[in-house]
Amino acid sequence: MDLEVLKKKLSAFKGDGGRTRNVSDVLLLEILSAWEHFSGPARDFYKALGVSQKGISSMLGKAKRLKREGATMPFSEVKIDGISNIVDSNSVLCDIEVTDNNKVIRFRKVDLLIEYLKKVA
């Protein structure tokens, strides 16, 4: 996720003194995900978010604890071009999850999974 978007989301949790407090669990997980994909120095990361070094370390610690306890980011459906969503009476209904680059892709029908695998290959 873009750091500017995260900064705007974090601004909703800033108090009168400018300190970030009571950040939601979902936002903590988004920050952790952004941190795991960030390739620059840590200073650039927390400065881009507008928080202090102690503030970001506290947030990352809470997010890691949440992740260890089994919390996950909310699922959002993504439409992929070229893959049809036509309901066919002959298709087999199931629930398949494929992990790809730390992303979980869910397929409700075997036909969609086969179509996706052909497109990726």
If asked whether residues 10 and 63 sit together in one domain, one would say yes
Mean per-residue pLDDT for 2-6? 88
If asked whether residues 57 and 25 sit together in one domain, one would say yes
Q: Assess contact for 29 and 62: CB atoms under 8 A.
A: no
Beta strand segments in 8-110, E: 93-100, 103-109
40 DSSP 8-state letter = S
pLDDT, tens only, 30-85: 999 899 989 999 999 999 999 999 999 999 999 999 988 887 776 666 666 665 55
If asked whether residues 35 and 64 sit together in one domain, one would say yes
Q: Which domain holds residue 40?
A: 3-68
If asked whether residues 60 and 87 sit together in one domain, one would say no
Number of domains composing the chain: 2
pTM of the model: 0.61
DSSP state string for 5-21: HHHHHHHTTB-TTS-B-
Lowest mean pLDDT among 12-16, 49-53, 114-118: 114-118
What band does 28 get if pLDDT is binned at 50, 70 and 90? very high
Radius of gyration of the chain (CA): 19
